[in-house]
Amino acid sequence: MPGIRSPRGKGADLAGEDDGRRAAAVFDALGSGYEKAFAHAEAHRRSLEWLLGRLAPGSRVLDVGSGTGRPTAETLVAAGHEVLGVDVSPVMVSIAERQVPGASFVCADVRDLPLDEGSFHAVCVYFSLLQMDRARQSALIGRLARALRPGGSLVLATVPLDVEGVDAVFMGQPVRVTSFAGEDLVEVVRAAGLTVLAEEDTLFTPDHPQAVPEPHLFLCCGRS
């Protein structure tokens, strides 16, 4: 997730929990505060505009780590698309259901969700892989690529840092973070059979008293 700060090394306080439960606990605690902190992320909205420009009317879109439903699911539904949002946090799913009644949301770990090959026109993955280890991130990106129809689109956003299993603080919540450097993530995406069609690197400061400026990377990809 974005908003990473104050690395503390590889601690033992979270070691007994799996990454899905840790992520659920973090985002249950954050709730709508997460939406407020990232509401002014213009690069996020630009990536959505790119996606909307590629989608035919009534396209089926999977939103991985859908959070409160804003801005991703809300923007896509307003444009007439069918959205399935998946999030491990029951609090986030409850908020999203209220805020974006035109979309469908399920509380689940996307790694446990059956994904038929070629079943979506697009997939959105905004900052939702950062509590998985690198092997799981790579495997999931491969599954999501296969879930795209030929010609489909995938938008992926992350904090491009070369870190693995680092304990940190995210908006006051303890998290364990793993990420790729930008060029390494591009290689993971290409290995999954996707082509990077547009890319944006930006520096962003969340609207939160404990936030610091952080790098964000947005990859807009297509399946040939």
Average pLDDT of the chain is: 88
* Residue 174 amino acid letter: P
Per-residue tokens: 89: 């946090």
- Whether the CB-CB separation of 212 and 200 falls below 8 Å is answered with no
Q: How far apart are CA 139 and CA 154, in angstroms?
A: 15
Q: Which fold has domain 4-223?
A: Rossmann fold (3.40.50)
| pTM over cut 0.85 | yes
Hey, where are the domains in the chain?
4-223
Q: Which tens digits make up the pLDDT trace of 148-193?
A: 999 999 999 999 999 999 888 777 778 889 999 999 999 999 999 9
Residue 210, class by beta-carbon neighbours within 10 Å (0-12 exposed, 13-18 middle, 19+ buried)? middle
Q: How far apart are CA 68 and CA 100, in angstroms?
A: 8
- CA distances (Å), origin 147, targets 10, 62, 158, 193, 202: 34, 9, 20, 12, 28
Q: Which tens digits make up the pLDDT trace of 120-156?
A: 999 999 999 999 999 999 999 999 999 999 999 999 9
pLDDT band at 29 (very low <50, low <70, confident <90, very high): low
